[in-house]
């Protein structure tokens, strides 16, 4: 009797010959790049450093494309965006100690947004591992401890023979739902030492699937089929799982209104009769969702933004589909279904009964009208016109990447992404500096369409160095910088809370002149000219900068 696990793939004659006679001049670094290529990687991001030179030397002997950024954290943001756009694990090559630690904020954002980033860092020589104080350059008592609370999994290599399996395990971890960043570290001597290990040719690390339990989806389908007022909250898990079409099918079958979270932007068509759009930071929307007798939450943990700052108190039954076990029922009791959004929505589609509800679309129109009236009463015409100008200028199929800035906060609620996986922001971890380097990573992933980055001047100062990266690789990114002379949202928060702001004002450069000093075209625009200037920049190949001097305001919160 033969079992599947007894079957062994036998090498071909050519593979045997190559294994017996590996090419000379290879090191542990070659095992790293060979494993990445065997797994399907084509592009890597990063920065070189002394302990990591074995890997970077091996890149010279490989077909992998290297995109080098100027700051490790920005390289992490670029890899994050590459992973979001392609759905592939994005390799991020880093050096030891300060280089590695500088990437932490980017890896936190990747973790919050479920972006598959495969970070590979060097380590001090093997003799220094174990926590002793040997005095090596970049030495930390336990480097991996700094990452263990941020990434999905940590993989430490101590010998060359461990490299292919460790990277393959990390790759599989990064791409298993929920996607996320992973950490591999390899000592300097292991990377530099010559190797006789055969060239790595195999690398089929298929991620594990996460199907729902059928007894749970049966109960969920019964609840939804018999609901009087069902509603759906769609989060980033729907986008990451490429499940937008299934979400629409289910919403239409159930005649259930859908609201998307900031991370779920584009998961449901903005102008669909059942679309509540993304106005989660609005009490009218919160009231509507609280009134649902059955609320289906897909791919969201109902965190701070998605719950209108935890003021949302559902009165009906909640069904929560979530791939991240730690988020399941973390904020509200629910029928918790630990599953990939795509597989769970498919199971529901196969088991729900269609509902008729001629009033559902009218209820949606009523809520959106109330939201519109509330915003209109606040005299925020400038902000709405700017957002509309960005939308007019940006091609329908182009992705946009938004930093933590007031215009982005508006966009979370009021911007039509025009499709899934088109709008991305740093709202997961909330760090500054995401927009521009992330847009660069997206342009590397798909050079056929222009990419938009949006930053305030405060966030822009985190990323200025990457104008050199944009020029070096001629990346098709237009960077809109809204210049208000400081940390605008913090200025507003502090003024509201304390009557005046402290530490929010910034001396800033002439961003147009600065861009031009890097060889990147720049233009200073006005609110009236924004749509035309932005469209012209987006229509011109290569990098460009559009600077808009403007002081913006946020709409009034409804959670206080």
Please state the rounded mean pLDDT for residues 450-479: 97
Which residues, 6+ apart, have CB-to-CB distance to 534 below 8 Å?
A: 389, 390, 393, 394, 452, 478, 480, 525, 546
Are the CB atoms for 80 and 106 separated by under 8 Å? Answer: yes
Residue 58 CA to residue 64 CA, distance in Å, equals 10
What's residue 2's pLDDT?
A: 45
What's residue 88's pLDDT?
A: 95
- Give me Rg for the CA atoms of the chain: 25
Distances (CA, A) of 470 to 340, 437, 439: 35, 9, 10
Structure tokens belonging to residue 324? 């991240």
pTM for the model: 0.95
Residue 409 CA to residue 27 CA, distance in Å, equals 48
For the chain, the straight-line distance linking the first and the last C-alpha, in angstroms and rounded, comes to 69
123, pLDDT greater than 60: yes
541, pLDDT greater than 70: yes
Which residues, 6+ apart, have CB-to-CB distance to 498 below 8 Å?
A: none
Residue 241 CA to residue 25 CA, distance in Å, equals 42
Residue 156 CA to residue 144 CA, distance in Å, equals 8
Please state the rounded mean pLDDT for residues 141-159: 96
Q: CB burial class (10 A; 0-12, 13-18, 19+) of residue 197?
A: middle
Q: Summarize pLDDT for 288-312 with one digit per residue, the tens.
A: 999 999 999 999 999 998 999 999 9
Q: Summarize pLDDT for 43-71 with one digit per residue, the tens.
A: 999 999 999 999 999 999 999 999 999 99
Please state the rounded mean pLDDT for residues 403-419: 97
Residue 11 CA to residue 15 CA, distance in Å, equals 6
Structure tokens belonging to residue 298? 């897909």
E-assigned strands of 188-298? 230-234, 258-260, 294-298
Q: Summarize pLDDT for 169-187 with one digit per residue, the tens.
A: 999 999 999 999 999 999 9
Q: Computed from CA positions of residues 166, 171, 176, 182, in that sequence, does the dihedral angle turn out positive or negative?
A: positive
Neighbour-count burial for 171-187, b at 16+ CB within 10 Å, e otherwise: bbbbbbbbbbbbbbbbb
3-state secondary structure string across 279-298? CCCCHHHHHHHHHCCEEEEE
């Amino acid at each position: 009797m033969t079992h599947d696990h007894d079957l062994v793939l036998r090498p071909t004659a050519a593979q045997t010959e190559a294994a017996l006679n590996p090419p000379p001049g290879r090191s542990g670094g070659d095992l790293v790049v060979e494993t990445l290529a065997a797994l399907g990687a084509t592009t890597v991001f990063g920065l070189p450093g002394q302990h990591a030179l074995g890997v970077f030397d091996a890149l010279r002997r490989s077909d992998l494309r290297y995109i080098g950024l100027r700051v490790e954290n920005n390289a992490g943001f670029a890899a994050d965006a590459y992973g979001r756009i392609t759905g592939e694990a994005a390799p991020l090559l880093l050096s030891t100690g300060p280089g590695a630690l500088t990437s932490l904020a980017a890896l936190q954002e990747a973790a919050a947004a479920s972006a598959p980033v495969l970070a590979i860092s060097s380590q001090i020589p093997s003799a220094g591992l174990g926590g002793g104080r040997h005095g090596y350059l970049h030495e930390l008592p336990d480097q991996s401890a700094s990452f263990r609370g941020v990434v999905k999994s940590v993989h430490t290599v101590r010998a060359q023979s461990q490299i292919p399996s460790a990277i393959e395990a990390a790759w599989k971890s990064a791409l298993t739902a929920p996607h996320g960043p992973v950490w591999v570290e390899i000592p300097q001597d292991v990377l530099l030492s010559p190797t006789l290990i055969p060239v790595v040719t195999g690398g089929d690390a298929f991620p594990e699937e996460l199907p729902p339990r059928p007894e749970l989806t049966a109960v969920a389908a019964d609840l939804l089929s018999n609901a009087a007022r069902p509603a759906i909250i769609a989060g980033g898990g729907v986008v990451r799982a490429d499940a937008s079409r299934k979400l629409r099918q289910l919403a239409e079958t159930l005649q259930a209104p859908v609201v998307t979270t900031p991370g779920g932007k584009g998961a449901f068509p903005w102008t669909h009769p059942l679309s509540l759009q993304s106005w989660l930071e609005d009490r009218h929307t919160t009231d509507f969702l609280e009134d649902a007798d059955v609320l289906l939450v897909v791919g969201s943990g109902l965190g701070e933004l998605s719950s209108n700052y935890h003021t949302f108190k559902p009165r009906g039954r909640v069904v929560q589909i979530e791939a991240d076990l730690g988020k399941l029922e973390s904020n509200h009791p629910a029928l918790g279904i630990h599953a990939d959004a795509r597989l769970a929505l498919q199971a529901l589609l196969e088991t729900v009964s269609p509902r008729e509800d001629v009033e559902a679309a009218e209820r949606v129109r009523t809520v959106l009208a109330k939201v519109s009236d509330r915003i209109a009463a606040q005299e925020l015409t400038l902000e709405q016109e700017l957002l509309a100008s960005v939308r007019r200028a940006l091609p329908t199929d182009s992705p946009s990447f938004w930093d933590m800035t007031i215009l982005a906060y508006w966009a979370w609620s009021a911007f039509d992404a025009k499709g899934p996986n088109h709008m991305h922001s740093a709202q997961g971890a909330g760090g500054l500096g995401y927009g521009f380097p992330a847009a660069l990573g997206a342009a590397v992933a798909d050079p056929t369409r222009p990419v938009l980055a949006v930053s305030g001047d405060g966030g822009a100062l985190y990323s200025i160095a990457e104008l050199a990266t944009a020029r070096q690789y001629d990346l098709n990114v237009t960077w809109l910088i809204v210049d208000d002379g400081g940390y605008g949202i913090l200025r507003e928060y502090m003024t509201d809370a304390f009557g005046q702001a402290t530490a929010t004002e910034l001396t800033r450069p002439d961003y147009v002149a600065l861009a031009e000093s890097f060889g990147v075209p720049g233009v200073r625009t006005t609110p009236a000219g924004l749509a035309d200037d932005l469209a012209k920049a987006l229509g011109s190949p290569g990098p460009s900068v559009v600077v808009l001097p403007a002081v913006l305001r946020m709409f009034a919160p409804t959670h206080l």
